[in-house]
Structure 1
Amino acid sequence: MNRRWVILGAAMLIQLCLGTLYAWSVFVNPLKIAYGFTNTQTQIVFSLNVAAIALAVLFAGRWQDKIGPRKVIVFGGLLFGGGYLLAGLLSQGSFAVIVTGIGIISGIGSGFAYISVVATGIKWFPERKGLITGLIVGGMGSGTIIIAELSSHLIQQVGVLGTFTAFGIVFLAVVIPLAMVFKNPPVGAEAEKIEEPQVVMKKEMTRREMFKTMQFWILWTMFVCGASAGLMYIGILKSFGERLPGITSVMAGAAVAIFALGNTAGRISLGWLSDKIGFRKTLFFMFITQALMISALVNMISPYNFWPDFLPIFYQPSMAGLGVVSAWMGFNFGANFSLFPSATAKSFGIKNLGANYGAMFTAYGIGGLIGPIINGKILDRTGSCLYAFILAMVLCFIAALLSLCAKEENRRKDAYPE
């Protein structure tokens, strides 16, 4: 079997494990009930995990560009699984130990593994940057579905800490062996000596050169807005659903799975679409529809109804409304992780993609610190997520406007032959 297809499969399986992050809302209520965590504390764990991933990506991207992906993924796998083992075996429910193990150590490990598999995949499939990125990071969305359901069952059987321990063992057993198949394509050659008819790449930029461009800061700010908005919803999705009238715990769990399905579909579909129509138009579509969907969520929980009469599912909390919102928000949120790597590669080149996307990915960490913690504090003080969701809607509108300022080279008609 051709090596690049083996690498693609391994990358998707590793990303499936990394999808544990987006199932975090399943752990929120059990931690509150068993160990007295506040909403803010649960979101601090989640936010620090996101921030740690972004910080790790910043350094890991350049490291894997220099030494190759294999060692970086092994190192990341050890930290990723080890952090869960620390929380499960040694925490005894301590917030400090759980936030250290899962929030920081596991987050750092996830970042090292994440950037290495994404950058390597793009290097092996240069002719389909958007689609391949979508397929790889789509594994993370698929993992959320599996892990959310598995977590719910394990928590009932062995408790929260037992679930952390089981995950730690599985992650070590999966990620480290799969890392052995990774390597960069030969220097100076494409993966299969593909003759690329797409747009001739502008100058391959270093990270320092990239920082001097307005394009980088426009994309980075958009990523901050999109990450903040999406993570506000993801971090509390199940507990938020359980608080809505008429929504049971099972229904709220189904909303997490629906979000994950949308997450996976968005990563692949909009990654493919960006290869066809360009990342600029795709980003605008993603952010404007995300803002509209969050406005539907606001309408559903607000005392004031402003959505059209022919859409009654958004007039009050219902499983239909929660399901539609979760699916579409997952679809658009997931697309961030195929569109921004692709936009980085197309704007600044492939040679230094690990380092450059590592810098771009810091936006995700900033979004992770802003969104979930603000939402947790608002929820603790007001008992409602209404004002946090209004903020998320505004952020998406801002990102949509910024996408109109981004630049993209004109594409030749034969850029992506069928």
Structure 2
Amino acid sequence: MSIQAKCKIAYFYLSKMKIQAPAAVIGGILIHLTLGNLYSFGNMMTYMVSYMHERVSPYVNYGNFIWVNSITTASQGLFMVCGGLLERKIGPKLTCFVGCSVLSAGILLTHYTIEVSLFTVILTYGLLSGLGISLTYVTPLACGMQWYPEKKGLINGLIVAGFGLGALGSTNLQTLYLNPDNKPPEANGYFVDTGILDRVPSVFIVLALVFLVMQYVGCLLISKPTPTELQDTRHWPEGENLLGVADNPDESQDELPSTPTVTGIDLRPVQMIQTKTFYIFWMLYLLNTIAIGYINAMYKSFGQTFISDDHYLAGIGSFAAIFNAVGRIVWGRLMDKTSFRTAIRILTLMLTLLFATMPLTKHMGKVGFTGWVWLIFFTFSGTFSLMPTVVEKAFGSPHYSANYGILFTSQVVSGPLLAAVNQLMLNAVGYTGCFLTISGILSLSVGITFLVPDGL
């Protein structure tokens, strides 16, 4: 092939990449913004529990309603690997389309199930939502990292920042739609105003329609580079071999080339689960997500015990989404600059201390409580940018989606475990006992960080 022909081909691919690469990241952020409705659960739970407690069954309360959120996370863990396998079969666009449709369908169906029972709400707002998230979560990350292989931590941070930021829009929409007059709950923590309760079923239709529009736009933008485009992208930052798009015509087109792992070997899922490193990551994820699930579900109900301002508490949750989003970028960048081992050790230590001191915020008023919630959201957010990045770094990219999905099986354990602990302990030892228990769990996570292998 002549130099002129090579120049034309290289120019075509580079022009295409300059559009498709950022579009894939933007599409991933849009999709993750809707998946991030998960982080508005603490706000939405107060209205859902109140509605069901008053109009469906008096046995529905804050202690047992956390099962909805726990089944969401367990469903993610159970089906996350299916998202990776599906993406390899039908491609990223269709995988995201299927997952997003399932998620929004679960939210929409809650319009009906909230009139029936807690179990049916668990099936729609819990199980179906978790299934939708699991099918969709990993694909945008895999696409973004392959377009920008030299900036994996940053790109992962940007995309999952959308997940963290999702609660900003969801929480505000829920609160302004359901409680525009900022009416406080009763002393027992339940809303009884008929205007608020009457609007609860219809809010699920509004949320589902808004999400579907954002999701389908994101699905259209999502793409993965071809092997040739990937080769060009990997050399683009160094400015090398921009003309070498066909240097190896015999290269297999079945799998994209991988960036080097620490071991130099790309592992399939069955090989990955035979390594000690996988179980270190699995335990870190398990312990950290127990804490994350608890603060996400219970921060508002805890705040209601000493703050009687619904809009203020909703505002805390909204701005916590910003800290959640920014934290993912910051922690991802910290890993790029240092290492996973350093970043995750700092993160788990900070989180342990913050949970241990969280009960003190009831003596600090609004400002103290607000600061602690925001710091916790900023800190825990790093788990979701550090873990996906280190999985790719440790085990390679060809089977990344499936490998990360298997790591997510830790949530099958953490979700139900969290719900069972909360249901048993909340009435017995109160919020203080629960927060201190979570802090003890996180201290185990700190210890496990010392087992992370060198080079990660």
Where 2:234 maps in the other structure, the secondary structure is coil
Match of 1:384 among 413, 418, 430: 430
Name the counterpart of 1:313: none
CA deviation profile, 1:290-327 (whole Å, cap 9, x unmatched):
111112113445xxxxxxxxxxxxxx241122112111
- Is 1:284–2:341 an aligned residue pair? no
Number of equivalent positions? 394
| Cα distance change of structure 1 residues 85 and 199 upon mapping to structure 2, 3 Å threshold | closer
Q: CA RMSD in A?
A: 2.1
Name the counterpart of 2:449: 403
CA contact (8 A) 1:258 1:327 kept: yes
Where 1:24 maps in the other structure, the secondary structure is helix
Give the alignment's TM-score, normalised by structure 2: 0.82
Name the counterpart of 2:286: 224
Alpha-carbon distance between aligned partners in 1 of 2:429 and 2:49, rounded to the nearest angstrom = 15
CA deviation profile, 1:229-264 (whole Å, cap 9, x unmatched):
1211111111111112x4532332232123222211
Alpha-carbon distance between aligned partners in 2 of 1:164 and 1:325, rounded to the nearest angstrom = 30
CA contact (8 A) 1:81 1:171 kept: yes
Q: Kindly state the Cα deviation for residue 90 of structure 1 after the two structures are TM-superposed.
A: 5.1
CA contact (8 A) 2:260 2:396 kept: no
* 2:345 counterpart letter in structure 1: F
Alpha-carbon distance between aligned partners in 2 of 1:18 and 1:166, rounded to the nearest angstrom = 15
- Is 1:133–2:156 an aligned residue pair? yes
Moved over 3 A (4+): 196-200, 298-301
Counterpart mapping for 1:240-319 below 5 A: 240-244=302-306, 246=307, 248-300=309-361, 316-319=363-366
Q: Kindly state the Cα deviation for residue 266 of structure 1 after the two structures are TM-superposed.
A: 1.2
> Larger Cα Rg: Structure 1 or Structure 2?
2
CA deviation profile, 1:359-411 (whole Å, cap 9, x unmatched):
111223432222244224322x237212221121112211111111101427x
CA contact (8 A) 1:56 1:109 kept: no
CA contact (8 A) 2:114 2:121 kept: yes
Q: Kindly state the Cα deviation for residue 328 of structure 1 after the two structures are TM-superposed.
A: 1.2
Alpha-carbon distance between aligned partners in 1 of 2:452 and 2:259, rounded to the nearest angstrom = 17
Sequence identity (%): 23
| Cα distance change of structure 1 residues 105 and 357 upon mapping to structure 2, 3 Å threshold | same
- Is 1:367–2:414 an aligned residue pair? yes
CA deviation profile, 1:92-139 (whole Å, cap 9, x unmatched):
253232211111112101111112112222222211111111100000
Q: Kindly state the Cα deviation for residue 91 of structure 1 after the two structures are TM-superposed.
A: 4.1
Name the counterpart of 2:234: 194
* Greater CA drift, 351-360 or 81-90: 81-90
Name the counterpart of 1:20: 37
CA contact (8 A) 1:53 1:107 kept: yes
Alpha-carbon distance between aligned partners in 2 of 1:188 and 1:55, rounded to the nearest angstrom = 34
* Greater CA drift, 91-100 or 278-287: 91-100
Where 1:350 maps in the other structure, the secondary structure is coil
Show structure 2 runs of 5+ residues with no match. Answer: 1-17, 54-59, 180-195, 239-257
Alpha-carbon distance between aligned partners in 2 of 1:294 and 1:52, rounded to the nearest angstrom = 26
Alpha-carbon distance between aligned partners in 1 of 2:220 and 2:315, rounded to the nearest angstrom = 36
* 2:25 counterpart letter in structure 1: L
- Is 1:182–2:222 an aligned residue pair? yes
| Cα distance change of structure 1 residues 62 and 299 upon mapping to structure 2, 3 Å threshold | same
CA contact (8 A) 1:135 1:267 kept: yes
CA contact (8 A) 1:17 1:140 kept: yes
Name the counterpart of 2:167: 144
Alpha-carbon distance between aligned partners in 1 of 2:345 and 2:113, rounded to the nearest angstrom = 46
Q: Kindly state the Cα deviation for residue 80 of structure 1 after the two structures are TM-superposed.
A: 0.7
* 2:301 counterpart letter in structure 1: S
- Is 1:4–2:44 an aligned residue pair? no
* 1:337 counterpart letter in structure 2: F
CA contact (8 A) 1:80 1:171 kept: no
Show structure 1 runs of 5+ residues with no match. Answer: 302-315, 411-418
Match of 2:109 among 76, 80, 86: 86
| Cα distance change of structure 1 residues 214 and 383 upon mapping to structure 2, 3 Å threshold | closer
CA contact (8 A) 1:232 1:388 kept: no
Give the alignment's TM-score, normalised by structure 1: 0.89
Match of 2:375 among 328, 332, 336: 328
Alpha-carbon distance between aligned partners in 2 of 1:247 and 1:192, rounded to the nearest angstrom = 57
* 2:276 counterpart letter in structure 1: M
- Is 1:173–2:213 an aligned residue pair? yes
